[in-house]
Amino acid sequence: TRGGSFDVKITIPEGFTIYEIAGLAQRELGMDSVSFLQACRDTAILRKYGIDAPSMEGFLFPETYLVPKGISSESLIAIFHHEFRRRWRPEWSARAESLGLTLEQVVTLASIIEAEAHVKDEQGVISSVYHNRLKRGMPLQADPTAAYGLAKINEPVTPEDLRSKTPYNTYIYRGLPPGPICNPGEDAIKAALYPESTDYLYFVSRMDGTHIFSKTLKEHNKAINRVRRLIKVNKAKSKI
């Protein structure tokens, strides 16, 4: 669409949460961030779009938009969600059904993959870890879910966070959380639907954004120790 004189360009990066989008809307559009978050959780709006989740989190598509200044929260959500529906492919619904997952569950899984994978190439492998864990009835133990339940955005996750009893904490509760934890992009959605075929059940983050994947807890503990040693070496080097 052609931009009008009062149109504003607004970009939602992949992995942004509704909290971050609310801040963006406040900065770029002068929108009240609280009213935007309230609209995202409005049960009437969720019903209107047929979404069975606690909020519009996950269903606002990451993209660059031209929107009129002075737009209402509800209209802004409508634009972002329309793009989500436009990008969702019919074959994805069929694939979700074959996996025994609802649309909401696919987007929830995709959001965790988006939050965990700092390197796009790893999304399919990370997805395989979660699929393997779900099949075995193991808790997902995804740090970003614990952080999201506490509304901690872009803050380090502490051991206390991992013990928090929010419904989103996949260390405490098995299965998928009640809804998405961010707004995943197309690649993360595809990774959730088409995981790589692996036997991995664990992964630990290296310092460069990539991960070491393991099939057993013994392997995983070795990987953790390896990463810890690397961190120590790097800290020592930085002091020289």
Rg of the chain on CA atoms, in Å = 19
pLDDT of 2: 53
For the chain, the structural domain boundaries read 7-87, 90-200, 201-240
pLDDT of 239: 65
pLDDT of 1: 47
Band of pLDDT at residue 230, cut at 50, 70 and 90: confident
pTM for the model: 0.94
pLDDT for 149-161, tens place per residue? 999 988 889 999 9
